[in-house]
Amino acid sequence: MRILLVGAGGVGDAIAKIAARRTFYDLLVVTDYDLSRAERTIAWIEKRHGSEVAARFVADRIDASDPDDVAEVARRHGATHVMNAVEPKFVPTIFAGALAADADYLDMAMSLSEPHPTEPYLETGVKLGDDQFALSGDWEKAGRLALVGMGVEPGLSDVFARYAADHLFSEIDELGTRDGANLVVRDSDGNEIFAPSFSIWTTIEECLNPPVIWDKSRGWYTTPPFSEPEVFSFPEGIGDVECVNVEHEEVLLMPRWVDAKRVTFKYGLGNEFIGILKTLHQLGLDKTTPVRVRSADGPVEVAPRDVVAASLPDPATLGPFMTGKTCAGLWVTGVGTNNQRREVYLYHVSDNEWTMAEYESQCVVWQTALNPVIALELLAGGVWSGTGVLGPEAFDAKAFLDLMAAPIDAGGYGQTWGLEDRLA
C-alpha cells in the first residue's frame, strides 16, 4: 500500500504520526499546499522514531482544489490510496483526482449539502454525500473503492452502528450519535478563551445548516439549527452536557446499511458557542461567497468565513493550552438479541493530556485521525474490501473494534472502547 495523504494540518499531521507506529504500508506521502507543513510532520516523525521509520515518508506539495494536480501527484508517487485530510469543500476535487489516478479513496467528511430552496427547515435539498454517491457507478466500473466518512464522527460512530446491529440488537429504534466533551482552552495567562478545537470552517458548516433526521416512515427531513436540546450523560468524568441537533454525515450514512426506525446526531456545543455561531450568522460572517473588501493595496475579494477561520487560533496548535477529554459515541435503543428492551452507549474517550504526551496532537484531531489509519490497515490486509462508494457500515465492525482495542504488543492500537448498558 502506498498512501497519498492530502493535508498536513491538525488531522493530517496526527494521521502521519499514528501511522508511523504501524508497518502495513510501503510509503506515506505527506502533502500540503504549504510544503513546510508536510516537512515539519516528517521531521517530527524522524526525531521521535528515527531515520529508518521516516524513510517510509515523503513530503510533497499539492493543490487540493485542482483534481488534475491531485491525480498527477498520486501517479507520480504510485499511490494506491488517497487519504483526504482537508476541509470538505475540497472533497469534489480530491475525489475526482483519486479516481483519475486509479487509486482508492478515503475521507472523514463528505461532499457538502445545499439547503432546500424554499423549505430549508422541513425538506432536504442536496444532502451531505449526495454528489459522491451519485458517482458510485463510476467507482464500481473502475473496480476502485471510495470509503467515505471514515473519521470519528462520522466513522467510528458508524462502525458502532454496524456492531450494534450485528451483535447487540434484533431490532433498533434509534441510532443516536452523541458527542460531548469537558475541554477547556486557556491563554498563556491562564484565562479561559474561545478557541474551537476543530476547524471553525467545518463547524460553521455543520452547525448553521439545517440538521437532518432520518425517520423510517418519513425518510430524511430537516429541522432548524440547534433544535431538540437534551441533556446527555457522558462517561469517564465528562458528565451531563446539553446536546442539540446538528447536520452530520452519520444520519445520511447509517440508514443506507443499518435498519433503524430513527437516526439522529446531537452535539454538545454549549450556550456560549451557540450564541457565537448565531451572531456570526446574523452578521453574515458565515458566508462562503467572497465579498469585496477595501485594503491598503486596493479592493480584494474574500469569503467572510475564511476571515473568521484566519482570525482564530489554528486548532492544531491548541494542545498545550487545552485540558480535558472528548467523547464520541453512539446511543442505541431497541430490542436486544434476548428479545428484551435494551439501551446502550458505545463510545471512545480521548484524553488531551495523553495525546499530547504521546503524539503532540490535541485530543480532538487525534481521535479523528485514529480511525482512518485503522481502516487503511484493514484494507491493506484484505480484511475490508469493496468497490463503489461505501460508508463504514458496509464493513465488518468487529474486525475494526478488535484491532482498535487489542494491546499494542499484540499488534493492535491499544485504544479501548466502552459499552454502557443504560437500562436498569
Per-residue three-class SS string for 353-399: HHHHHHHCCCHHHHHHHHHHHHHHHHHHCCCCCCCEEECHHHCCHHH
**For residue 420, is it within any domain?**
no
Query: Looking at the structure, do residues 309 and 173 belong to the same domain, yes or no?
Result: yes
Query: Looking at the structure, do residues 171 and 306 belong to the same domain, yes or no?
Result: yes
**For residue 66, is it within any domain?**
yes
Cβ atoms of residues 18 and 369 within 8 Å: yes
Cβ atoms of residues 320 and 186 within 8 Å: no
User: The domain containing residue 207 runs over which residues?
Assistant: 156-365
pLDDT for the residue numbered 6: 98
- The count of other CB atoms within 10 Å of the CB of residue 293 is 11
Q: How many helices (H) and strands (E) does the chain have?
A: 15, 20
Query: Looking at the structure, do residues 212 and 110 belong to the same domain, yes or no?
Result: no
Query: Looking at the structure, do residues 186 and 299 belong to the same domain, yes or no?
Result: yes
**For residue 25, is it within any domain?**
yes
Q: What is the Cα–Cα distance from 174 to 153, expressed in whole angstroms? A: 17
Residue 175 predicted with pLDDT over 80: yes
pLDDT for the residue numbered 307: 87
The DSSP code for 268 is -
Cβ atoms of residues 185 and 195 within 8 Å: yes
**For residue 297, is it within any domain?**
yes
pLDDT for the residue numbered 315: 76
Average pLDDT for the chain:
94
**For residue 128, is it within any domain?**
yes
Residue where a domain stops, chosen among 347, 365, 383? 365
Query: Looking at the structure, do residues 396 and 296 belong to the same domain, yes or no?
Result: no
Top-confidence residue, 270 or 171: 171
Highest averaged pLDDT of the listed ranges 248-262, 264-278, 316-330 = 248-262
Q: What is the Cα–Cα distance from 324 to 340, expressed in whole angstroms? A: 36
Top-confidence residue, 75 or 200: 75
Q: Is 155 helix (H, G, I), strand (E, B) or coil?
A: strand
Question: CA–CA distance from 21 to each of 82, 116, 205, 349, 414 (Å)?
Answer: 19, 45, 33, 21, 12
Q: What is the Cα–Cα distance from 81 to 224, expressed in whole angstroms? A: 38
HSE at residue 111, side-chain half, CA atoms within 13 A, is 18
Mean pLDDT of 250-260: 98
Domain count, the chain: 2
pLDDT band of 275, cuts 50, 70, 90: confident
Give residue-wise pLDDT tens across range 395-424: 999 999 999 999 999 999 999 999 999 986
Q: Is 51 helix (H, G, I), strand (E, B) or coil?
A: helix
Query: Looking at the structure, do residues 279 and 375 belong to the same domain, yes or no?
Result: no
Query: Could you tell me the end-to-end alpha-carbon distance of the chain, in angstroms, rounded to an integer?
Result: 47
Question: CA–CA distance from 241 to each of 157, 353, 388 (Å)?
Answer: 18, 21, 38
**For residue 281, is it within any domain?**
yes
Residue where a domain stops, chosen among 334, 349, 365? 365
The DSSP code for 320 is G
Query: Looking at the structure, do residues 373 and 357 belong to the same domain, yes or no?
Result: no
Query: Looking at the structure, do residues 163 and 137 belong to the same domain, yes or no?
Result: no
The CATH number of the domain holding residue 24 is 3.40.50.720
Q: What is the Cα–Cα distance from 172 to 257, expressed in whole angstroms? A: 13
SS3 content of the chain, % helix, strand, coil (to 5): 40, 25, 35
Continuous H helices in 172-315: 200-208, 249-257, 271-282, 304-311
Residue 112 predicted with pLDDT over 70: yes
Query: Looking at the structure, do residues 183 and 208 belong to the same domain, yes or no?
Result: yes
Instruction: Answer whether 0.75 is exceeded by the pTM.
Output: yes
pLDDT for the residue numbered 423: 84
Amino acid code (one letter) for 255 = P
Query: Looking at the structure, do residues 316 and 194 belong to the same domain, yes or no?
Result: yes
The CATH number of the domain holding residue 249 is 3.30.360.10
**For residue 423, is it within any domain?**
no
pLDDT for the residue numbered 424: 60
Query: Looking at the structure, do residues 229 and 105 belong to the same domain, yes or no?
Result: no
The DSSP code for 78 is T
**For residue 418, is it within any domain?**
no
Give residue-wise pLDDT tens across range 330-383: 999 999 999 999 999 999 999 999 999 999 999 999 999 999 999 999 999 999
Q: What does the chain come to in residues?
A: 424
Query: Looking at the structure, do residues 165 and 42 belong to the same domain, yes or no?
Result: no
